Chain A
């Protein structure tokens, strides 16, 4: 299993850029890296996904170095509503065994006014 390690918590202020790093030393060749956001009492919600280099969408960017042993989720100019738990998920599910999917323990991001 490609286990993941994330910081337990992070604090930031409104308007700042936040970077959350996930370590996944045992990532397999075909594994994708996916980040989810979860608010209290809700199911996780997809944010962004990547395989290598950089991916950007309307809400975040994902940076993956060449060795793919880590990844960094970047949230530009956070607001209070970005306060949530962020999960890094590494694994192969679309064509392989979902048993390999591993959610980390997540990072609690708190955005302060």
Chain B
């Protein structure tokens, strides 16, 4: 869905490096989410935000941090990347009062 964009789409980094993944949306949704997906597994929730001043940990937040700079932007940071953080990362948005989430195209991250 072009309304939710993620940058970069692909990234290779080295162990110990700091890296930021960015998500932007033009849908005007207040809720935003970060998930990771590992091969053969479903999506696991890392962090979520219901508003600019609201940040919440998900199921697997250790090793990650987030920033909600504006309603339209939600960034995910890996302070010191490690190889087991190699995964496909998805950002999603959700309008208020609805259960449906709208996903971005994903960022494929490889940590060497």
Residues from chain A with a CB closer than 8 A to the CB of B43 are: 44, 87, 103
Scoring B residues 19 to 38 as 1 if CB is less than 8 Å from chain A, else 0, what string do you get? 00000000000010101000
Given A34-B100, A99-B59, A43 and B45 touching (CB < 8 A)? no
Interface pair A44/B103, CB less than 8 Å apart: yes
> How many residue-residue contacts, CB under 8 A, span A and B?
62
Closest residue of A by beta carbon distance from B106: A43
**B106 contact from A34, A42, A103, Cβ within 8 A:** A42
CA distance A46 to B95 in the complex (A): 13
Interface pair A101/B42, CB less than 8 Å apart: no
**B103 contact from A45, A93, A106, Cβ within 8 A:** A45
CA distance A45 to B94 in the complex (A): 12
B contacts, CB < 8 Å to A = 1, 4, 31, 33, 35, 40-45, 48, 50, 56-59, 90, 92, 94, 96-106, 108
- 5 nearest CB pairs, A to B: A43-B103, A103-B42, A103-B43, A98-B48, A105-B42
A contacts, CB < 8 Å to B = 32, 34, 41-46, 49, 87, 93-94, 97-99, 101, 103-106
